[in-house]
A and B are shown apart, each in its own frame.
Chain A
Amino acid sequence: MIKRNNNLDKNKTINRRLFILGTAKVGLLGLITSRLYNLQISEKKKYELLSDKNRFRESKTPPKRGVITDFYNNVIADNKRVYQVHLSLDETKDFNNSIFKLKNIINLSDDELSKIYEKKQKIKPWDTIVVSENLSWEKFSKLNLYLHEIEGAKPVLSTSRYYPYSNDLVHIVGYVGDASPDDIIKNEKIEKNFVPGLKVGKIGIENSTDQILIGNYGIKRYEVNSSGKKIREISYKKETQGENLRTTIDIEAQKLAQKLLENKAGSICAMDIYSGEIIAMASSPTYDPNKFTYGINKKDWNEIKNNKLRPLVNKSIAGLYSPGSTIKPLVALAALEYGIINPKLKIKCKGHDHPYELYGQKYHCWKKNGHGIMSLRNAIKQSCDIYFYEVARLLGVDRLSIIAKRYGLGSKVLENIFSEEKKGLVPSTKWKKQVLEQSWYLGETLITGIGQGYIQTTPLQLCLMTAQLANGGFKIKPNIIYNSNFNYEEILSKIESEKNKPSKANILKDKNINLYEKLYKNPKNIKIVLDAMYGSTNEQFGTSFRSRHVDKKYRYAGKTGTSQVRRITDKDRELDLDTSEIEYKNRDHALFVAFAPYDKPKYAISVLVEHGGSGSKAAAPLANKLIKKIIDRDKDREIIRKELKII
């Protein structure tokens, strides 16, 4: 009975306890169900997305860069086929072993080897590493022979940047290299399109037009397993090549300009005086941009870096020089425009024995025996310093500064293309007060009048100045990338019809003038200056007479300049040494500006030879050759221009 009771008791308990347990079980099953509902129905989208991410891996392929051509459609920055060897890390079990084998087959240097290890640190374990970017055909075929022995190695046909005119264009076109973290931060286009192995412009046009040239990367989508191994390709969105770019450069003129500067340090710029198209912009010495594409080696880099003539400096835009006498036409123009002098003003240049004197300070002309009695035209033609001391004194530096700035000095010309461009300096009393916190001395006005002292210009600014004088005094915008919106004929006829009309512009004010508007007040003054420049080149006693062209087709007008790099002492004057006898770094810079053809001007040119001596001996002869070339090519240029217009 007891036992029976006990059993009943136990059964009762167990049933009650089971009921409690059962309730708990139902509750827990409900919990799981709601969790499943949550995962599979409420958040399905999220997990589907994650699942796709798991399955697919994207690999981006670098786009081909756009090709850069000169005005005549000659390719100046190209993409050439290269043989490369890549190593895909996810297929390489023993990285060191594979690299070691590759090293022996394609002769990797220790330098290259350490670079590869460096690269490996930066990429993901399923990425591909570019072991060699540019293999010779011999090595490439040798590699193919041993390929089966090297795990993960892949021979790849790729493209890389190639500059067919190597040294001739580096300062304009620039070069490319691997994108640095800095490049990626600075340029949104690079950031968006960044792919390992993407080359970006480092300097020059390559750099400033990356936006256009880079193109868009391609995307290969792979299905992968959990270890990232590719199983199959799902889709391949092909990369799009960057847009091609036409520059305004004439490669023939450029080549010649570069050749004329061979073994010299200097710059030659040439420009269309209406469109502002830069025909040539040479800087010497130069270097080979192709060396930078795969990363330059130390030896070559040191050679470039340590060269005393500074090949890395683009002298046309980043070299600052005193303009010397090349500024005289502008000084004369300023004096005429402000009505300070009339062209008949006569001043006597009496040679070194009787220099120009101001407050006890002596100012000499370059010509030892003096020029005699000079009028304005003669003073420009023969480049008399004494005459311009007086003109400058009468004009004053502030008025000269306004005119100099108006014609293009003291501000950057191609700022949006070349980040390294310098703006130079056009001094004024206000500038000196603000920057140097000193008052202006009249003596400083005198030397500014012959392009010495504080004034600093780039060769391209001098070219622009000459162009804006030669086109009759109209404002133009220089450019180096072809602008298809520019209507040459329209601008030309506008300028032609306006040329002889006086301007209502208040030249006394330092104000901005719109494109293709008059920079002058009275067109006569421009003509006087241009005529004097004609004399300088084409008449006896002119400073560049020896470099003239007799043929009317090539006949040009110019102005020489000799820019002192240090103060000339009385002792120097006494010694009167020939250029070759002076130490190189103390020699004068030789300058020359010109426009051609004289009868119907179209092109302006500036030449600068660092420490070349006198402008008439070292710079003008170079201009003579280049002008001929440019005028010879003019007909072709116009044909191309017409073709481009039709398109």
Chain B
Amino acid sequence: MIYSTLNSNYSFVDKLKSVDYFLIFLVLIIGAISVFSIYSTESGDFSFYTKNHLIRLIAFFSLFLALSFVRVSTWYRHAYLFYLFGLLLLLLVIFFGISASGSKRWINLFVFNLQPSELMKIAVIVCFARYYHRIQSADIESYKYLLQPIILLLIPCSLVITQPDLGTAILIAGSGIAIIWLAGLNIKYFIYSGLLLLVSLPFIISVLKPYQKSRILTFFNPERDPLGAGYQIIQSKIAIGSGGMYGKGFLQGTQSYLEFLPEKHTDFIFTLFSEEFGFIGSILLIFLYALMIYRIIKIGFSCRSFFAKLYCFGFSTALFLYVFVNIAMVVGLLPIVGAPLPIMSYGGSSMLSIMIGLSIVMSCKIYSQEIISN
């Protein structure tokens, strides 16, 4: 394979010039909001969670900056390796993973517990971007090229589902499908597989774990079991609803302060934020995410290589999916599946994967003129 060297001789200053500072600004501002939110979950006490979160934010933000200067062609070259590495980690979880509250998702890295499925979210995007980079558009619909990505997607998804972690599996699948969609697979396949999913839904439900079933049932009727499965969603709605237009104010969120909110520093961080800052605050936060997604798409447009383009569009869609699933979940539009809010939620792996994902975006920006040939 021959890699173009057309713009490989950028000076460091040139590189710095082409950095997207607005994106960095967005990451920093959401990061700052997240620190204050986590601080609030500890009722204004600068202790364990806040400290950890801040340290991770700084560490992974630095990583993001550092990785931004990795050539996009390097990512291209190692895309499959990245995928295989993620897969290996997922397999390691099966044998050496640590369990918590009924599921086995983590590997102990001493510094923090890594959740490989989070990494896999990005690996799938990179891998698919590379895969479709080299395929001719005429070939996309051939069964050979159609089957490969499906298998590539099914392996990690099934591994994650068995952990069990339905939420992450859905997000991985969602990002993968988004790329297949962007690559231009005929719309009929999406319609067919959608119909197939609908038909096989009863079968899928029968395979689900009891807690997953109850979550889905509870989604349709939270009052079914207000102290059990419906508890989280009811409490979350109460907290958000009681926030009102302007919110109860920073550190004034009674529901989270009095520990009515479950998992308030992870999946339900938006609930806490929304309770304290109200409708205005929530819209503002969603707007920041939207800006970030817009910015990433914009970077995608500026890229010459199809890989970079596909990656940026794919990642922006994935990012949108994370944000949407999380918020829709806490406001009661989707069942509780366990999906963190990017950057905002407490959790090292999620933060790490987002930062890596963003760094590849940034690398696409810096090396936007790099041409990657097959």
Contacts and interface: CB of A to CB of B under 8 A. Distances in A.
B245 A14 contact: no
Interface in A31-53: 31-33, 35-37, 39-41, 43-44, 46-48, 50-51
Interface stretch (A223-231, A236-244, A317-325): A223-231
Given A14-B184, A51-B254, A32 B244 contact: no
Nearest to A22: B297
B228 to A, nearest CB: 14
A144 interface: no
Given A40-B282, A47-B240, A10 B137 contact: yes
Nearest to A54: B260
Given A6-B136, A21-B178, A225 B260 contact: yes
A48 B254 contact: no
B241 A47 contact: yes
Interface stretch (B8-16, B149-157, B326-334): B326-334
Interface residues of B, number: 45
B324 A32 contact: yes
B183 A14 contact: yes
Contacts of A6: 136-138
A32 to B, nearest CB: 5
Contacts of B137: 6, 9-10, 13
B181 A224 contact: no
A494 interface: no
Interface in B256-283: 258-260, 274, 278-279, 282-283
Given A43-B241, A48-B244, A18 B297 contact: yes
A225 B259 contact: yes
Contact of B181 (A21, A223, A226): A21
Interface string A57-72: 0000000000000000
A11 B308 CA distance: 12
Interface in B221-272: 235, 237-245, 254-255, 258-260
**Which of A39, A40, A41, A225 is packed against the most chain B CB atoms within 10 Å?**
A40
Contact of B182 (A21, A35, A40, A54): A21
Contacts of B259: 225-227
Nearest to B283: A33
B64 interface: no
B292 to A, nearest CB: 12
A54 B181 CA distance: 45
Given A21-B178, A32-B331, A41 B324 contact: no
A41 B258 contact: no
B306 A36 contact: no
A17 B181 contact: yes
Chain A interface secondary structure, helix, strand, loop or mixed?
helix
B255 A51 contact: yes
A40 B313 contact: no
Contacts of A46: 241
Interface residues of A, number: 38
A17 B184 contact: yes
Contacts of A223: 258
B309 A54 contact: no
A7 interface: yes
Contacts of B279: 36-37, 40-41
A14 B309 contact: yes
Contacts of A18: 182, 297, 300, 313
B217 to A, nearest CB: 21
Contacts of B182: 14, 17-18, 21
A18 B313 CA distance: 7
A54 B241 contact: no
A44 B333 contact: no
A35 B313 contact: no
Interface string A381-405: 0000000000000000000000000
A33 B327 CA distance: 10
A48 B258 contact: no
Contact of A36 (B240, B242, B300): B240
A392 B313 CA distance: 116
Contacts of B283: 33, 36
Listed residue (A10, A21, A32, A223) with the most chain B CB atoms within 10 angstroms of its CB: A10
B2 to A, nearest CB: 13
Interface in B294-351: 297, 300, 306, 309-310, 313, 317, 320, 324, 327-328, 331-333
Contacts of B278: 40
Contact of B309 (A11, A40, A47): A11
Q: Which of B241, B293, B313 has the most CB of A within 10 A?
A: B241
A29 B287 CA distance: 9
B333 A35 contact: yes
Contacts of B240: 36, 39-40, 47
Contacts of A226: 235, 258-260
B290 interface: yes
B341 to A, nearest CB: 12
A34 to B, nearest CB: 10
Contact of B243 (A25, A40, A55, A227): A40
A47 B275 CA distance: 11
B286 interface: yes
A225 B264 CA distance: 14
A157 interface: no
Contact of B328 (A32, A47, A50): A32
A33 B243 CA distance: 15
Given A14-B184, A43-B241, A47-B238, A36 B331 contact: yes
B255 A54 contact: yes
A29 B324 contact: yes
A296 interface: no
A36 B258 contact: no
Nearest to B242: A51
Nearest to A39: B241
A54 B320 contact: no
Given A50-B238, A226-B260, A36 B282 contact: yes
A28 interface: yes
B148 to A, nearest CB: 18
A418 B279 CA distance: 63
Contact of A44 (B235, B242, B282, B327): B242
Contacts of B181: 17, 21
B239 A51 contact: yes
Contact of A40 (B136, B260, B274, B333): B274
Nearest to A37: B279
B336 to A, nearest CB: 15
A461 B34 CA distance: 84
A35 to B, nearest CB: 5
Nearest to B301: A15
A25 B331 contact: no
A223 B327 CA distance: 29
Interface string B109-148: 0000000000000000000000000001110000000000
Interface string B3-39: 0000000000000000000000000000000000000
Nearest to A53: B238
A33 B138 CA distance: 40
A25 B293 contact: yes
Contacts of B235: 54, 226
A13 B310 CA distance: 11
18 contacts: A10-B183, A14-B313, A18-B297, A25-B293, A28-B320, A31-B328, A31-B333, A35-B328, A40-B240, A40-B282, A44-B241, A47-B241, A50-B242, A51-B239, A54-B255, A54-B260, A226-B235, A226-B258
Given A14-B183, A40-B244, A54-B238, 11 more contacts: A10-B184, A13-B184, A14-B184, A17-B182, A25-B293, A25-B320, A25-B324, A36-B279, A47-B238, A51-B238, A51-B241
Interface of B: 136-138, 178, 181-184, 235, 237-245, 254-255, 258-260, 274, 278-279, 282-283, 286, 290, 293, 297, 300, 306, 309-310, 313, 317, 320, 324, 327-328, 331-333
Which 10 pairs from chain A and chain B are nearest by CB? A47-B241, A51-B242, A13-B184, A40-B279, A39-B241, A226-B260, A47-B242, A225-B258, A226-B259, A44-B244
